[in-house]
């Protein structure tokens, strides 16, 4: 019953918690945007005479009104279905979203022309026109909808290309895409251009196979997807098997370059027609470029070139390098959505005033681990201005290492492994950036251990001297060597391929080349070394089949490293709550503790200084409403042995507990020698008590228990009168035994002895005779009478009347919490005798009294 | 003492229940001795387990804390701490702080102490100090014994950082070890104060200890629900393992600062609640 309030509180807490969880789970989610599937017929081709049906889905804005439109384009090998979720999220943000399968993909007709201005770009122009006719779409002018384009990879390139060709497009968010497809597939870190580039064999193969021979297939898989090819519905023709859904012209180009590994001028021209490089200066609209750091297909330098081209027109450009790309990584879907939505929110919805949201340059960095789940946490470092791959500052790191010979194995195998295209996470098992080098194929140049951490943001450069014959293909990579047991880390698995032509008469002078290493954002920690590894092979690239040996050395022993000190990660210093919360809590705690504090010993009635106990109007009810003690008043004088009589449940024990300050009375008061009893009141030091059984530490023996109890009172050891108390207990040798071995009677005697320690002026004993045998009871009686003879007062509660009759001179009779009668035992007996004409025992008196009492009440 | 208050000779509230007495009262208890015995024996059991298990399972070159445990005494000690911080130490701390008042209530000795009289606030204060002292001794004894056992078992060597495999010289790692122990103490404070509050609310020591451990378990289950987002950071157990950041190549303070802030916040409120509740409580045990 005393837990009733606590239980109610706990129940309330549980209910509140459950309601919270349920509410949270059942809270109506934002209405799911419903797509309308439709087919949009377009005409394209160089002459504008080819009809193609595009499979599209239109997501009208959820609130039914007019809204700006977003064209959401899919990646290579995907279809409109691969961007369904992203489209629904954007539509829920209040846009009219149109997704479509590009020609040659999904259920759309036509052939893949690689975002050609004659084909895909014309398609998108007509999709923009289609949007202008929709009633749900906000118009800037007749036939000119307010529209943005977003998409990744192939879809990012179409966003750029369409922005260049169609003035009606208002803002774009191209992701992980290219600037120059020729340069992306035939990179040369020596600056020789695609004609001199090294063929990115594996990626190119994967890229072209994804437009492969699966007519009508509606696969969801993007470029990074794995899984076997689906079974085609019918046998393929030779043309289909060879070229899939590619335009024959593109198919032939790919077949020729893939065979030779060299980019012909025609191939370069064809690839560039599909690239933003061909439309320089024509993209004049706000552009947010999101490029993945883990991308060996379209590395950060592609976004860099796009950013420079757009910025040259004066249009607003922001660049962000996130943890994703064609090689895997986190992908940061939520962040990509948020950035896209805020970009369009500003430029299409014109929300949020004049300040452009986001920051000029944003880089995702490793933020350690979540302390709860121990999973990686990503931080976004931001800077106002995109500095390009050269950084805002440059640090020169000295590299050392002799000239070394590297061998190209016949057939180019075995090859070093940096990143495996299409298998992003495959090498990730031992942590990101693990790479495999083949002995004898690489030259190594290292810096001294760093004395301070070095954050590289951009593309480092180094000048190499290469000796050999004719064309030498090399792969340069910048590794992070921590020392100890850890293998060197190749940040993001990126390598810079280069092709150096050594003049035949060069001899020892060889050829010098400035190598632009892959653009990265990586922190080299103190004590780590920077290692430049130049190797002759890489699995992802085409290398010469003929065996050869080349000499590689440093033309200058310096690595120029770009840095961007302006980039700042958001969290700097402890958060405000880390000091505010504990400070507030401590203030609250101190107030809570001090507020309810009582000053003991303040309430004194000097007139009662000689009265051992006076109880006035004492009342106590428990929380369930049962009144245990009701308006109880009586007084005990010095030298009395008072019997507190009553049947079980009369409230004797509760009264005694209130005397000890254990229970707070509801009304009335108890005064001991004039001092009001409150919990822990100092006057209690003159009270000895034994209530409701003994309380000892079971693991200690009897003597230790008494000694420790006395020491806990803090009073001088000499005042304890330990010997007298122990004599009363009469335990003999058992004193040295642990209390847990005692019988009930032994504990009882020890407890009474404890109550008598210090010979208190007022001794309160609750049922002291319980568990004692008759000789012990007699002895106890003597002890109590002797104790009171010395001017002290004893209160004994009992339901054994015979006991009280023989021990006590005064008696207080209680029944159901009320005082029935009080007075000397003799008076009580005489009064009863007068009434009935015979001398009766107290027992009979008591029974009559409580009977009367019951009668009165009922 | 106020001259007007006639108290028993030599009585002064400020002298009641001296710390020394409370320490002795608690020390000889079997559960105290068993818990310390367990904490001091555990490192030796682990050393034997690693020795017996050596050679089996091959040489994995991974850099998990458990795989690095045999590298050095410091590594071993960090491992011991990491496996015991989330449960064993919680139980130990909850035991010492949850049993202290509820145990007295269950022996019925609480009422005699209060009627001695030991003022209620003073009783709680003295008991809290002693219980926190025992809990702190438990938290400290485990890593220190691990250092000793690890030194004998695997040698005194530089510490190898989990995850990156970097090596921090033993001399430089020792101050970090002090930080780790200090943080472990602060982060267990919330368990201690929770157990202490429950101890004043119930007469059953098992209920107080079990309740505190149970709530810690509930909190650690909740913190695995990532959907709760940033709310998880304010769960009392969220930062329990933030001391691992002290073994990163560069000490990362933010987690430990947040953890300490959360722990101190909860503890201050819980302990204040304990005092308030106990002051107003009817002692019926």
Three-state SS for A713-777 is HCCCHHHHCHHHHHHHHCCHHHHHCEHHHCCHHHHHHHHHHHHHCCCCCEEEEECCCCCCCHHHH
pLDDT at B62: 60
* A626 contact partners, CB below 8 Å, separation of at least 6: A1
pLDDT at A27: 67
Name chain B contacts of A681, Cβ cutoff 8 Å: 117
Delimit the domains of chain A by residue range.
36-182+274-383, 394-421+432-563, 606-857
pLDDT at A8: 67
Pick the residue from chain A with its C-alpha nearest to B231: A372
- For residue A777, pLDDT beyond 60: yes
Please indicate whether, in this complex, the C-beta atoms of A714 and B160 are within 8 angstroms of each other. no
Name chain A contacts of B266, Cβ cutoff 8 Å: 585
Q: Which residue from B114, B167, B271 is facing A679, i.e. has the nearest CB?
A: B114
- For residue B163, pLDDT beyond 90: no
pLDDT at A306: 93
Q: Which residue from B10, B25, B254 is facing A697, i.e. has the nearest CB?
A: B25
Q: Are A470 and A501 in contact (CB under 8 A)?
A: yes
For a pLDDT cut of 90, what percent of chain A falls above it? 46
- For residue A574, pLDDT beyond 70: no
List the single best residue of B4, B5, B120, B225 to mutate versus A (max A Cβ within 10 A).
Answer: B5
- In the block, which residue shows the tokens 């993007």? A222
- For residue A151, pLDDT beyond 90: yes
Name chain A contacts of B30, Cβ cutoff 8 Å: 699
- What's the mean pLDDT in A592-617? 82
Chains A and B: how many Cβ contacts under 8 Å?
Answer: 234
Instruction: State chain A's mean pLDDT as an integer.
Output: 85
Delimit the domains of chain B by residue range.
17-50+60-280
pLDDT at A374: 62
- What's the mean pLDDT in A195-223? 68
Rounded to whole angstroms, the Cα distance separating A270 from A272 reads 5
Same fold, A36-182+274-383 and A606-857: yes
Q: Are A95 and A348 in contact (CB under 8 A)?
A: yes
Instruction: State chain B's mean pLDDT as an integer.
Output: 88
Give the confidence band of A3 by pLDDT, cuts at 50, 70, 90: very low
- What's the mean pLDDT in A176-203? 91
Chosen CATH of A606-857 out of 3.40.50.300, 3.40.50.1100, 3.40.50.410, 2.30.29.30: 3.40.50.300
List the single best residue of A368, A584, A662, A737 to mutate versus B (max B Cβ within 10 A).
Answer: A662
Pick the residue from chain A with its C-alpha nearest to B118: A680
Provide the chain A residues 249-288 that lie in CB contact (below 8 A) with chain B: none
- For residue B55, pLDDT beyond 70: no
Q: Are A490 and A435 in contact (CB under 8 A)?
A: yes
Q: Which stretch of A731-735, B38-42, B224-228 has the lowest confidence by average pLDDT?
A: B224-228
Give the confidence band of A430 by pLDDT, cuts at 50, 70, 90: very low
Rounded to whole angstroms, the Cα distance separating A461 from A480 reads 16
ipTM of model: 0.91
Pick the residue from chain A with its C-alpha nearest to B262: A582
CATH class (in words) of the domain with range A36-182+274-383: alpha beta
CATH of domain A394-421+432-563: 2.60.120.260
Provide the chain A residues 516-545 that lie in CB contact (below 8 A) with chain B: 525-527
- Looking at mean pLDDT, say which of A23-27, A194-198, B254-258, B268-272 comes out highest: B268-272
- For residue B61, pLDDT beyond 70: no
Pick the residue from chain B with its C-alpha nearest to A740: B107
- What's the mean pLDDT in A97-105? 92
Residue of A62, A79, A43, A58 whose CA lies nearest to A133: A58
Please list the residues that pair with A815 across neighbouring strands. A818
Q: Which sign does the torsion angle of CA A415, A421, A422, A423 carry?
A: positive
- For residue A111, pLDDT beyond 80: yes
């Amino acid at each position: 019953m005393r837990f009733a309030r606590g239980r109610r509180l706990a129940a309330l807490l549980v209910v509140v918690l459950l309601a919270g969880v349920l509410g949270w789970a059942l809270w109506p989610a934002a209405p799911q945007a419903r797509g309308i599937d439709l087919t949009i017929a377009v005409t394209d081709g160089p002459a504008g005479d080819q009809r193609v049906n595009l499979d599209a889905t239109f997501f009208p804005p959820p609130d039914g009104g007019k809204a700006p439109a977003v064209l959401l384009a899919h990646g290579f090998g995907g279809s409109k279905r691969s961007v369904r979720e992203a489209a629904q999220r954007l539509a829920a943000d209040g846009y009219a979203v149109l997704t479509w399968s590009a020609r040659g993909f999904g259920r759309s007709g036509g052939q893949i022309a690689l975002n050609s201005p004659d084909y895909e770009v014309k398609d998108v122009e007509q999709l923009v026109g289609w949007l202008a006719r929709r009633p749900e779409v906000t118009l800037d002018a007749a036939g000119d909808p307010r529209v943005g384009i977003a998409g990744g990879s192939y879809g990012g390139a179409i966003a750029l290309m369409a922005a260049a060709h169609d003035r009606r497009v208002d803002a774009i968010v191209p992701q992980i895409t290219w600037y120059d497809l020729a340069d992306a597939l035939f990179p040369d870190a020596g600056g020789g251009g695609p004609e001199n580039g090294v063929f990115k064999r594996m990626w190119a193969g994967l890229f072209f196979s994804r437009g492969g021979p699966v007519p009508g297939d509606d696969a969801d898989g993007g470029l990074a997807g794995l899984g076997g090819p689906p079974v085609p519905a019918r046998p393929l023709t030779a043309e289909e098997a060879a070229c899939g859904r590619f335009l024959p012209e593109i198919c032939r180009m790919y077949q020729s370059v893939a065979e030779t590994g060299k980019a012909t001028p025609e191939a370069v021209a064809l690839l560039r027609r599909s690239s933003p490089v061909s439309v320089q200066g024509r993209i004049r609209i706000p552009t947010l470029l999101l490029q993945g750091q883990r991308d060996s297909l379209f590395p950060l330098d592609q976004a860099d070139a796009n950013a420079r081209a757009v910025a040259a027109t004066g249009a607003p450009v922001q660049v962000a390098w996130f943890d994703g790309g064609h090689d895997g990584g986190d992908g940061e879907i939520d962040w990509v959505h948020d950035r896209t939505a805020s970009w369009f929110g500003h430029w299409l919805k014109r929300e949020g005033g004049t300040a452009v949201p986001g920051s000029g340059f944003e880089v995702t960095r490793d933020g350690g681990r979540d302390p709860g789940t121990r999973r990686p946490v990503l931080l976004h470092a931001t800077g106002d201005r995109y500095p390009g791959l050269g950084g805002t500052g440059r640090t020169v790191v000295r590299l050392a290492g002799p000239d070394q010979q590297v061998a190209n194995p016949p057939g180019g195998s075995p090859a070093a492994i940096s990143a495996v295209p299409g298998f992003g996470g495959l090498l990730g098992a031992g942590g990101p950036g693990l790479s495999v080098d083949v002995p004898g194929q690489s030259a190594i140049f290292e810096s001294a251990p760093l004395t301070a951490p070095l954050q590289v943001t951009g593309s480092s450069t180094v000048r190499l001297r290469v000796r050999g014959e004719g064309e030498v293909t090399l792969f340069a990579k910048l590794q992070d060597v921590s020392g100890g047991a850890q293998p060197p880390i190749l940040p993001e698995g990126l390598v810079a391929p280069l092709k150096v032509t050594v003049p035949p008469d060069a001899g020892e002078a060889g050829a010098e080349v400035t190598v632009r290493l892959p653009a990265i954002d990586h922190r080299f920690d103190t004590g780590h070394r920077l290692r430049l590894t130049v190797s002759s092979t890489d699995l992802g690239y085409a290398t010469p089949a003929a065996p050869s040996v080349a000499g590689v050395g440093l033309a200058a022993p310096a690595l120029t490293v770009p840095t961007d000190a302006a980039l700042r990660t958001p969290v700097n210093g402890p958060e405000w709550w880390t000091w505010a919360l504990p400070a507030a809590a401590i203030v609250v705690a101190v107030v809570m503790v001090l507020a309810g504090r009582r000053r003991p010993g303040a309430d004194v009635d000097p007139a009662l200084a000689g009265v051992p106990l006076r109880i006035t109007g004492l009342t106590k009810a428990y929380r369930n409403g049962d009144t245990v003690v009701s308006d109880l008043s009586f007084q005990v004088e010095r030298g009395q042995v008072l019997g507190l009589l009553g049947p079980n449940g009369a409230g004797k024990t509760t009264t005694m507990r209130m005397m000890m300050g254990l229970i707070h009375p509801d009304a009335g008061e108890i005064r001991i020698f004039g001092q009001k009893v409150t919990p822990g009141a100092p006057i209690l030091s003159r009270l000895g008590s034994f209530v409701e059984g003994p309380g000892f530490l079971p693991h200690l023996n009897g003597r230790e228990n008494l000694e420790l109890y006395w020491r806990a009172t803090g009073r001088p050891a000499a005042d304890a009168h330990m010997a007298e108390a122990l004599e009363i207990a009469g335990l003999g040798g058992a004193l040295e035994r642990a209390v847990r071995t005692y019988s009930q009677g032994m504990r009882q005697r020890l407890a009474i002895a404890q109550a008598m320690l210090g010979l208190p002026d007022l001794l309160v004993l609750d049922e002291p005779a319980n568990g004692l045998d008759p000789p012990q009871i007699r002895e106890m009686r003597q002890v109590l009478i002797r104790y009171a003879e010395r001017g002290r007062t004893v209160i004994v509660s009992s339901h054994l009347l015979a006991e009280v009759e023989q021990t006590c001179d005064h008696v207080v009779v209680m029944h159901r919490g009320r005082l029935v009668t009080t007075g000397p035992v003799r008076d009580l007996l005489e009064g009863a005798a007068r009434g009935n004409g015979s001398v009766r025992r107290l027992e009979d008196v008591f029974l009559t009294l409580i009977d009367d009492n019951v009668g009165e009440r009922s | 003492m106020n001259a007007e208050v006639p108290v028993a000779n030599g009585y002064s509230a400020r002298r009641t229940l001296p710390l020394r007495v409370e320490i002795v009262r608690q020390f000889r208890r079997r559960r105290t001795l068993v818990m310390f015995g367990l904490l001091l024996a555990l490192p030796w059991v682990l050393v034997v387990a690693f020795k017996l298990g050596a050679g089996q399972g091959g040489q994995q070159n991974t850099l998990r804390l458990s795989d690095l445990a045999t590298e050095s005494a410091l590594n071993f000690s960090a491992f011991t701490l990491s496996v015991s911080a989330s449960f064993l130490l919680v139980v130990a701390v909850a035991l010492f702080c949850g049993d202290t008042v509820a145990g007295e209530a269950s022996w019925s000795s609480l009422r005699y102490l209060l009627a001695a009289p030991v003022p209620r606030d003073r009783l709680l204060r003295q008991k809290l100090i002693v219980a926190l002292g025992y809990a702190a001794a438990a938290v400290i004894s485990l890593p220190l014994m691990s250092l000793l056992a690890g030194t004998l078992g695997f040698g005194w060597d530089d510490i190898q950082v989990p995850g990156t495999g970097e090596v921090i010289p033993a001399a430089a790692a020792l101050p970090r070890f002090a930080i780790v122990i200090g943080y472990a103490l602060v982060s267990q404070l919330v368990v201690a104060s929770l157990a202490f509050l429950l101890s004043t609310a119930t007469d059953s020591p098992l209920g107080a200890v079990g309740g505190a451990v149970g709530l810690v378990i509930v909190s650690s289950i909740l913190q695995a629900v990532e959907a709760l987002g940033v709310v998880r950071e304010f769960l009392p157990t969220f930062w329990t393992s933030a001391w691992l950041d002290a073994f990163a190549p560069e000490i990362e303070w933010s987690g430990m600062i947040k953890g300490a802030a959360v722990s101190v916040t909860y503890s201050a409120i819980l302990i204040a609640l304990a005092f308030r509740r106990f002051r107003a409580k009817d002692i019926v045990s």
